[in-house]
Amino acid sequence: MGLNYYQIKKNILRARKLVIKGTNAAGSGHPGGSFSMAEILGCLFYKHLKFDPKNPQWANRDRLVLSKGHAAPGLFSNMAVAGYFPDSELETLRKFGSKLQGHPDLKCPGVEFCGGSLGTGLSYSIGVALAGKIDSKDYHVYTIIGDGESDEGQIWEAAMTASKYKVDNLTVFLDRNFLQQDSYTERIMPLDEKLEGDDLSEMWKDASRWKTGDKWRSFGWNVIEIDGHRVEQIDAAITKANATKGVPTMIISRTVKGKSLEHMEDNPLWHGKAPDTDIVPIINLELDSQFMIAPSIIAGDMTNLENEIKKCVSGRSDYIHLDVMDGQFVPNKTFDHSKIKELRPLTVIPFDSHLMINEPVKHIQDYIDAGSDIITVHAEVTDESSFGEIHDLLKQNQIGIGFAINPDTELPEWSYKFISSLDQLIVMSVVPGKSGQKYIEETHTKMNRLNSILKQYNFSGYIEADGGVNLENIGSIFADGARAFVGGGAIIGQQDVRIAIREFRDEVLKSRRGTLLDKANELGGIDLVNKWIGLHVIGEKQEQIKKIAKEAGYI
């Protein structure tokens, strides 16, 4: 489909919700492993995979083999989003007469492999890839295997075979979520090293202990190691894999089982269990409340922006905010597209180019060519016609579409018709033009006004808060509806960007947990509040949530 970063994320969210819908309706199924590979499937379905939902047997289609077949709800949900069948089909999951069987099955047109018995999908994929080579077809085979699944000896039989036959039209993802049915993989059958004690997070953090990549390298594979929840890393890895000739590629994707729901994350209990009906609305709200945090590099050392980018990378920022100022629309001048182009090769982290310039329509192509992932232009310097042109150009180039309003600007009426296709709306909470200003409190009430308009016109992008965001106010800005946060001095100005971002994240989480507690209370009173809190059994979460619930007077 070739969607942009934001649209891919949007589809991944929709698919996650369908996993919840399907497993809840079925009363069983495997949400944990469906969520750990959600971003992998998203990048495949909405960017790289060649397929035609109207003609599932199209001879030149790319093949997607889900070897870890128990994660079928994840596959089916994405197939629905991709247009193979309506979303409502997920309600038949695992039921008598449904084509959506408990495990992927050819009964469902578009499914390539009957998964279920683990360890076999890789061998199967080799057969499919070899057939493509015999027939000189240029389709590619993408396969997803699990880490628990890698206990199976056949995986390693296949690893040797793919290498021997130089099956370079095969790319495999290892969904490395560190969990299998019984417990942690490193306890049941270590792929890296045997886990002593219970702290899985130590395995996750300490890259020096990861040995799985070496295993695959020693089998003759091209190995790429990534964070399997970062769309841009998956995207780049696929591109690299497709360009690699003569050897198969293994993309080791470090993931979190149950990713994006706090009570499911890293929790072995959610390997094969469906969410209860009363929890589903809270889950959906949590899924709708995903957020991103980005440093604004102009708050750093303007003479060495390369270094500021490196700080963003090591700080694991979700994206990087680039304030382009022309000295006319705003008094200050920062940099232009040529600088962005210079910075682009330093990282695959998305670039959010915020154009604070006059007549953006004249320059938009330069910023596209510079490698921006999303480009935001200001309401003050566009009109229906020029924004329409920008909108179309960005769409054609699969770039995110952003729109910004200054503190004194209301959303112009002419822009309403574009609202549903916006990927981002920046609500400036300082007067643009320089960093280091204080958050304008009036923005809170402005956000309230905006929310009703955005809802009315089906906005489905991110509201980005830009200006004066800090640890004290980020929680309330989240509560206003912002889902992307730009931090200037409060992030990039800090000694350790990674810690600064984590602190921002913790504050947003705190606010989000409060919202979710409110929702639980609204739907089911104290019983549901307690039930939801009780689901959080991993790590310190439960104690932290209880504290918030106490402060809110629920318990």
Partner 1 sequence: MNEPIMTDMRSEYTKTLIKVGHDNPNVVVLGADTTDSLKTSSFGKEFPNRFFNVGIAEANLVTVSAGLAASGKISFASTYAIFLPGRAVDQIRNNIAYPSPLGKKGLNVKLVVSHGGLSVGPDGGSHQQLEDIAIMRVIPNFRVFIPADTISVSKLTHLMANEYGPFYMRMARSKTPLIHSESQEFQIGKGITLRDGTDCTIAACGITVRMALEAAELLQQEGISCRVLDIFSIKPIDNELLEKAARETGCIVTTEEHNIFGGMGSAIAESVSESYPVPIKRIGAQDMFGESARDNEVPLLLAKHGITSFNMVKQVKEIRSKKL
Helices within 178-304 (DSSP H only): 185-188, 200-205, 212-218, 231-242, 280-288
The secondary element (H helix, E strand) that includes residue 172 is: strand 170-176
Tell me phi and psi for residue 27, to 5 degrees. 80, 5
- In DSSP notation, 114-150 reads ---STT-HHHHHHHHHHHHHHTT----EEEEEETTGG
> Least distance (Å) from partner 1 to the CB of residue 501?
44
153 binds partner 1, rule: CB under 8 A: yes
Among 29, 73, 132, 268, binds partner 1 (CB under 8 A): 132
Q: Which two tokens stand for residue 451?
A: 């929310």
**x-or-dash pattern for partner 1, window 244-263, by CB under 8 A?**
--------------------
Query: With respect to partner 1, which residue has the nearer C-beta, 128 or 256?
Result: 128
Among 27, 109, 327, 534, binds partner 1 (CB under 8 A): 109
Among 4, 34, 98, 123, binds partner 1 (CB under 8 A): 123
163 binds partner 1, rule: CB under 8 A: no
User: Starting from the edge strand earliest in sequence, which strands make up the sheet with 484-487, in order?
Assistant: 292-295, 484-487, 462-466, 424-428, 400-405, 374-378, 351-356, 320-325
Q: Which two tokens stand for residue 512?
A: 């989000």
Distance CA 236, CA 324 (A): 26
The residue range among 112-120, 250-258, 453-461, 537-545 that interacts with partner 1, by the rule CB under 8 A, is: 112-120
130 binds partner 1, rule: CB under 8 A: yes
CB 341 within 8 A of CB 314: no
105 binds partner 1, rule: CB under 8 A: yes
CB 154 within 8 A of CB 185: no
Among 3, 92, 165, 414, binds partner 1 (CB under 8 A): 165
Query: With respect to partner 1, which residue has the nearer C-beta, 130 or 440?
Result: 130
185 binds partner 1, rule: CB under 8 A: no
- In DSSP notation, 502-539 reads HHHHHHHHHHHHHHHHHHHHHHHHHHHHHHHHHT--ST
66 binds partner 1, rule: CB under 8 A: no
The residue range among 126-134, 264-272, 280-288, 475-483 that interacts with partner 1, by the rule CB under 8 A, is: 126-134
CB 225 within 8 A of CB 210: yes
Helix, strand, coil shares of the chain as percentages rounded to 5?
45, 15, 40
- Total residues binding partner 1 (CB under 8 A): 32
The residue range among 130-138, 430-438, 458-466, 506-514 that interacts with partner 1, by the rule CB under 8 A, is: 130-138
The residue range among 82-90, 129-137, 324-332, 468-476 that interacts with partner 1, by the rule CB under 8 A, is: 129-137
106 binds partner 1, rule: CB under 8 A: yes
> Least distance (Å) from partner 1 to the CB of residue 177?
24
> Least distance (Å) from partner 1 to the CB of residue 160?
7
- In DSSP notation, 367-406 reads HHHTT-SEEEEEGGG--HHHHHHHHHHHHHTT-EEEEEE-
> For the chain, what is the largest distance between any 2 Cα atoms, rounded to a whole number of angstroms?
68
Distance CA 459, CA 555 (A): 35
Residue 483: closest CA among 298, 308, 290, 295: 290
Query: With respect to partner 1, which residue has the nearer C-beta, 2 or 153?
Result: 153
Among 160, 207, 302, 471, binds partner 1 (CB under 8 A): 160
128 binds partner 1, rule: CB under 8 A: yes
Among 50, 95, 107, 438, binds partner 1 (CB under 8 A): 107
Give the interface with partner 1 as residue ranges (CB under 8 A).
63, 105-107, 109, 112-114, 116-117, 119-120, 123-135, 153-154, 157-158, 160-161, 165
